[in-house]
A and B are shown apart, each in its own frame.
Chain A
Amino acid sequence: GAVVSQHPSRVICKSGTSVKIECRSLDFQATTMFWYRQFPKQSLMLMATSNEGSKATYEQGVEKDKFLINHASLTLSTLTVTSAHPEDSSFYICSAILGGLEQFFGPGTRLTVL
């Protein structure tokens, strides 16, 4: 399958700081990437759809000013959690589409906000 990387894999930050997470498609170009969040023992929750060269589409209830998404190239999308708070602590996972519909996931970023 296709390879998607995320960086960093784990981050611990203080409340009020901003954290940037990178998602890269390593061996293919992805016009569309997705950002998910997963709390312990819960399923994936789609946060937003990231489209190369255009604004991201956010799911209902996701604050676009808090979770900034930039998809500046066909292989890179970034998610910035602004003014992070302890309730933002979660497992953030990106995915990219190869071909038509198959989504391949990155390894995830575990964010802990103190």
Chain B
Amino acid sequence: QKEVEQNSGPLSVPEGAIASLNCTYSDRGSQSFFWYRQYSGKSPELIMFIYSNGDKEDGRFTAQLNKASQYVSLLIRDSQPSDSATYLCAVNDMEYGNKLVFGAGTILRVKS
């Protein structure tokens, strides 16, 4: 059973701080990793994806991947109250190419 684990939170950070969201996955053969943001009552929106070990930056967001440790994280710099949402980590299912396995999500609360 392929699994993606996330701390459910809530993770509370003050406005302007760095929020660090973590995710581990069980399938060592996974190749692609995605972070989605989901506001309450809305559908998920893609923030960024990462395929290679190391860091990938996009604006205030940085994804970090460590395949040896089967660990992927998302850093949000200069957190804003509008970043308050549930963050979903997703990993591609190598057995079925395009299918994603989602974690349960981490609730982030940014307090002003």
Contacts and interface: CB of A to CB of B under 8 A. Distances in A.
Interface of A: 1, 32, 34, 42-44, 46, 49, 93, 97, 100-108
Interface string B27-50: 000001010100000111110010
A43 B104 contact: yes
Contacts of A106: 43
Contacts of B103: 43
Interface residues of B, number: 21
23 contacts: A1-B46, A34-B99, A34-B100, A43-B103, A43-B104, A46-B100, A49-B99, A93-B43, A93-B44, A97-B98, A101-B34, A101-B49, A102-B34, A102-B46, A102-B49, A103-B34, A103-B90, A103-B100, A105-B43, A105-B44, A107-B43, A108-B42, A108-B43
A1 B99 CA distance: 19
A46 B99 contact: yes
B98 A101 contact: yes
Q: Please give me the 6 A-B residue pairs with the lowest Cβ-Cβ distance, nearest first.
A: A108-B43, A43-B104, A105-B43, A93-B43, A101-B32, A44-B102
Contacts of A46: 99-100, 102
B80 interface: no
A43 B102 contact: yes
A89 to B, nearest CB: 14
Contacts of B98: 32, 49, 97, 100-101, 103
B72 to A, nearest CB: 15
